Amino acid sequence: MRLPRDRGLLSKHVLHALQTGGSLPSGLWADHGPTADLLHDEDAQLTLWVLYELHYRGFDDAAGDLEWDPALLELRAGIEAGLERELRAATAARLRQVPDSGDVGEQLLAFVAADDGPSSAAYLQRSADRAQFEHFLRQRSIYHLKEADPHTFVMPRIDGAAKAALAELQYDEYGGGRAPRLHATMFGDAMEACGLDRTYGAYVDEATALTLAVNNQMSLFALHRRLRGAALGHLAAFEATSSVPARKIAGGAERLGLPAAVAAYYSEHVEADSAHEQIAARDICGGFVADQPGLRGDVFFGAAACLHLDGLAAQEMLDHWERSS
Amino acid sequence: MSPARPEVSVRICPGGPLLVRGATEVLGPDGAAHPVTRPVVAVCACDKSARLPWCDGTHKALPGGRAR
């Protein structure tokens, strides 16, 4: 993957530092901020996404090994602190309804079920045209081409029943030992069949701030041991909001006569995520909280943050489609 | 060493599917064999799935279910 285009002064400086191996100007984040709405700040979200990607696939045109560069990490920490603060503030009201004891798995599934946020799946099922469907695939490709990767970072930070269950879930995400069944590869197949570019990061330049934020949130939770509870709660909410929408999206792909690989990808998620949502809520999160009762609140925070951001991203998608219809 | 016969376990999820581990196939209502291709499968327990014998989340839309 090549470095993306900048979206403002902050990302411009960071991309230049990555290209040249040169130093960052000091006080870059202080000069940029404080920002009132970090989730919609595309300059900050792109910067954070680029900094996180150093820990995933990296960039072919970046200079040297900058994954653990102190100045880049310091900038990342500044943006992350703002993002976590904003997510905690945005989910506080939603989290007041969560009991502070009882069956974690049952409560997580009920918490997700009580969410009445917007969903793009029904529109894809019934109304979207091919261009709108492909727009959805391009935005979603930022995540799906590295599907399941963020949560793998959590594996060595947990133990026992939660670890065994997370490994079981991830093994399925990674194709159960069969490379063509890697979910990220199946998504790439779907893109290619539609005539889209399946190259990792190909559509980053058109990813919205919210699309980038959805991805950054996962990396924020997964790359900090302190936030491992939030990462697992996020996974539970993510899986529990997948199988029913996937069924609708597969139906939309068939309605439009899209290549079979598209419906195949979403149909795979109907069956896989019907199991994953139970495993993630009951075995992963339930097992984790039994082991780490002090992190119960963070598990629900992660779930709430997932619902919050996915809701914002879905509304943005619906608004975009309304304008383009 | 792996045992000669895989150990099969079934977990009942209240209000949801059965999680089946270690099976090689699941017989549908019509007796047809459906091969198991993943480490753990969710088998429909509400009989309303459009993809029987597999769970497709339809239980959430049933009365008393976790509608979304």
- What is the CA A97 to chain-centroid distance, rounded? 24
Domains of chain A: total: 2
Q: Are residues A251 and A113 in the same domain?
A: yes
Q: How confident is the model at residue B68 (pLDDT cuts 50, 70, 90)?
A: very low
Domains of chain B: total: 1
* Domain limits for position A54: 9-91
* A144: pLDDT strictly greater than 90: yes
Record the pTM. 0.95
Q: Are residues A78 and A107 in the same domain?
A: no
Q: Are residues A49 and A111 in the same domain?
A: no
B67 assigned to some structural domain:
no
Q: Are residues A49 and A107 in the same domain?
A: no
* Cβ of residue A307 closer than 8 Å to a chain B Cβ: no
Domain of A244: which CATH number? 1.20.910.10
* Cβ of residue B26 closer than 8 Å to a chain A Cβ: no
* A271: pLDDT strictly greater than 80: yes
Region label for A86, one of left (φ > 0), alpha (ψ between -120 and 50) or beta (otherwise): alpha
B55 assigned to some structural domain:
yes
A1 assigned to some structural domain:
no
* Cβ of residue B10 closer than 8 Å to a chain A Cβ: no
Q: Quote the CA–CA distance of A276 and A168 in Å, as a whole number.
A: 9
* Domain limits for position B41: 9-61
Using one digit for the tens of pLDDT, what is the confidence trace for A44-69? Answer: 999 999 999 999 999 999 998 999 99
Asked whether the beta carbons of A222 and A298 are under 8 A apart, the reply is no
The position carrying tokens 């409560």 is A107
Q: Are residues A242 and A286 in the same domain?
A: yes
* Beta carbons within 10 angstroms of residue A99's beta carbon: 11
B47 assigned to some structural domain:
yes
What rounded mean pLDDT belongs to chain A? 96
Residue of A nearest to B14 (CA): A106
Q: Are residues A56 and A126 in the same domain?
A: no
Asked whether the beta carbons of A240 and A108 are under 8 A apart, the reply is yes
Using one digit for the tens of pLDDT, what is the confidence trace for A68-88? Answer: 999 999 999 999 999 999 999
Q: Which of residues 273-292 of A touch B (CB under 8 A)?
A: 273-275, 278-279, 282
B26 assigned to some structural domain:
yes
Q: Are residues A166 and A264 in the same domain?
A: yes
Asked whether the beta carbons of B9 and A164 are under 8 A apart, the reply is no
Q: Which of A142-146, A275-279, A296-300, B5-9 has the lowest mean pLDDT?
A: B5-9
* Residue in A23, A20, A22 with CA at minimum distance from that of residue A3: A20
Nearest to B38 among A113, A270, A272 (CB): A272
Q: How confident is the model at residue B64 (pLDDT cuts 50, 70, 90)?
A: low
Asked whether the beta carbons of A9 and A57 are under 8 A apart, the reply is no
